[in-house]
Structures are given as C-alpha cells and as structure tokens.
Amino acid sequence: MDAIASATGVTKKTLYYHFESKDGLVAALMEHQQAQALALFQGWADPAAKDPVAFGRSLFRKFTDWASRSPWYGSGFTRLTMELADLPGHPARSAAHRHKTEVERWFSAELGRLGQENPEESARQLMLLIEGCLSLVLIHQDLSYVLSAASAADRLLGGEAE
C-alpha cells in the first residue's frame, strides 16, 4: 500500500478510506478491468462473421496477435486466481469468476445468434481451449498452442481445421 500511495500521490489513510484492505483494492481493480477485458474479447469477434466457424477463427487470430506481444503475461484474471488458489473466498477470485462467467455467457449468446447447435456447451468448450492456450503459451512461450487450440475450435464449431 505504501508503493501504491506513493505512485498515486495520495496518503495511505486516503487509500484505506476508499478500500478496506489491499485485497479490497485488488478486487476493485479487477472489477474495473472486467469491463475492459470483456470489451477486448468482444472487439476480437469479427462483426461480419456469419457463422460460428468465422467467429472462432476471428477470436483465435486476435488471440494470436495478443499472445505475440513481448513481453506477454497472459490473463491477469487467470494468473491472480492461480496465485490465490489457497484462498477460495478472496474477493479477487470472486471478481475473476464473474469475469470468466461473463465471457462464457457472451460466447454462448454469440454462438446461439450465429446458429451453433448447443451454444452453451460449445461456449464452455471454447473457454477450455482459450484457458488452455493462456496457460500453456505462458508456460512454454510457444504460440503453436494457440494454433492447436484454433484447430480444435474450428472442428468444435463445425468447420474444417485451417
């Protein structure tokens, strides 16, 4: 909190006035980031996509662009949740849960709009592929995991792998 107070030019007393604790500050930051992160995913989807396959391809193309940046740290929501794995009631974990749930709901709504059969299950499987990418690209620093997940997504959504 000392470093945050110093960097923002406020006193620690002011920080604690607005946030009950450091954990509360982290949770508030994650809540703020949730809207931005969801908007990022929504921006990745090609608005001209006419079917689920085109939707998935657009997502994975943008995911590849994002993961190609250097340095790349993956999803802060995923990283923080793993860091706090032993604290299931932590407010930041709750914020991450809400974020991932919102992304999955959005995937389901878009897939349903595009005519995907069983969009809820397809959205869940798409989430698994993306979360797997997030973790494995970060661990191995190898973008080929994105290509493999994109190929699996293509088949999942009814296309032939590119």
Structure tokens at 29: 């930051």
Among 2-11, 24-33, 40-49, the minimum mean pLDDT is found in 24-33
pLDDT score, position 161: 59
Residue 48's pLDDT band (cuts 50, 70, 90): confident
State the average pLDDT for the chain. 89
Q: Which CATH class is domain 21-156?
A: mainly alpha
- Helix intervals (H) in the chain: 2-8, 12-18, 22-44, 52-67, 76-83, 91-113, 119-140, 144-156
pTM of the model: 0.83
Per-residue pLDDT band at 62 (split at 50, 70, 90): very high
Looking at residue 68, what is its pLDDT? 92
Average pLDDT over residues 120-147: 94
Pairwise CA distance, residues 149 & 162, whole Å: 11
**For residue range 83-133, what is the model confidence (pLDDT) as tens digits?**
888 988 888 888 888 889 999 999 999 999 999 999 999 999 999 999 999
pLDDT confidence bin for 47, thresholds 50/70/90: confident
Give dist(CA 134, CA 111) in Å, integer: 21
The C-alpha atoms of residue 67 and residue 65 are separated, in whole angstroms, by 6
